[in-house]
Amino acid sequence: MMRTYRIAAAIGLVTALGGASAPRQPGIEIIGPAELFAAGIASTASSEVRLTISPDGRTALWFSRNRSGGAGGYDIWISRRVNGEWSEAQPVPFNSPTRDFDPAFSADGRQVYFCSDRPGGLGGDDVYRVAVTQGGFGPVEALGPGVNGPGNEYAPMLSPDGMTLLFASNRPGGAGRYDLYTARRQGSGFAAARPLSGAVNSAADEFDATFLADGRTIVFARAGDMQADRVDLFQASPTKRGRYDAGTILPASVNMPGRDSYGPMLDWSQPDRLLFSGQRAGATSMELYLVRYRPR
């Protein structure tokens, strides 16, 4: 199943599940306007999605659906920061001729998690990881049946403590279409995944989630139908019992009216920054942005 997004009119789901008029809840406050990241290098005329930055701030990864020069069109790209400047982007060596997307560094910078529909998977798009080595990247490793199912898995992100993998899936047993799941670390792998507890999963599509620096608050994308409806970013926090609320929509500094926003990711190099993909007025493609936040 191709993962595509179309800009559409705002949907009533936003208000029903925590729109601008929803009661104020614990979570985060967005500080200031969103800033474009690496114009001409990571943010280009191509569609650029889900930026992740290594803990030392020297390596940036993201994926593009249509940037030329990669192995398969749907590819992950890399840029390195040298003397304060980002280098020309190059496709990563672990791309395949199929779809490779949704990269995410681990908090220690030693691994990169990503998704692919390369041969040998368990369903459509599955979760994989590669080790970050002194010379680049190690061999690709599939995460196996505890995480991957017969459907699609999107946007893996390991929690700051390294113990919980957060991702989205349309496997049977969820609340609706795409739902958020977590899998706890078990040895070198992960235990069987479970839907994120609470009210965050709904009959709509919930996907593209990231933990924030506290390891509890999440920012995620939601749309009635991600392929037809507008996509917005929400935040959700757990109660003392660990059950997540339904989520509240982020402000217009992130969700620009009439435009899609998705692909959020914590900036490991500056954990008070949220990275995301958006389309601003006048742009013809998705670009990469960063914005600061603080707990409230």
Listed by start position, the domains of the chain span: 13-295
Location of structure tokens 């935040």: 235
pLDDT score of 282: 78
| Cα dist from 226 to 117, 137, 221, 260, whole Å | 19, 32, 9, 10
| Fold for the domain defined by 13-295 | Neuraminidase (2.120.10)
d(CA 205, CA 196): 14
- The lowest-confidence range among 122-126, 152-156, 217-221 is 122-126
Residue 141 has pLDDT above 80, yes or no: yes
pLDDT score of 24: 53
- pTM, two decimals, is 0.91
CB neighbour list of residue 24: distance below 8 Å, 6 or more residues apart: none
User: Angle CA(286)–CA(287)–CA(289) in degrees, nearest 5?
Assistant: 135
Residue 29 has pLDDT above 90, yes or no: yes
Residue 71 has pLDDT above 90, yes or no: yes
Which position has the higher pLDDT, 42 or 256? Answer: 42
Residue 249 has pLDDT above 80, yes or no: yes
Digit-coded pLDDT (tens) for 92-111 = 999 999 999 999 999 999 99
Nearest alpha carbon to residue 268 among 110, 108, 79 = 108
147 touches 166 (CB < 8 A): no
What distance, in Å, lies between the first and last C-alpha atoms of the chain?
Answer: 39
Residue 21 has pLDDT above 50, yes or no: no
* pLDDT level of residue 174 (50, 70, 90 thresholds): confident
- Determine the residue type at 194: R
Digit-coded pLDDT (tens) for 275-284 = 999 998 778 8
Above pLDDT 70, what percent of the chain?
A: 92
Location of structure tokens 């650029």: 48
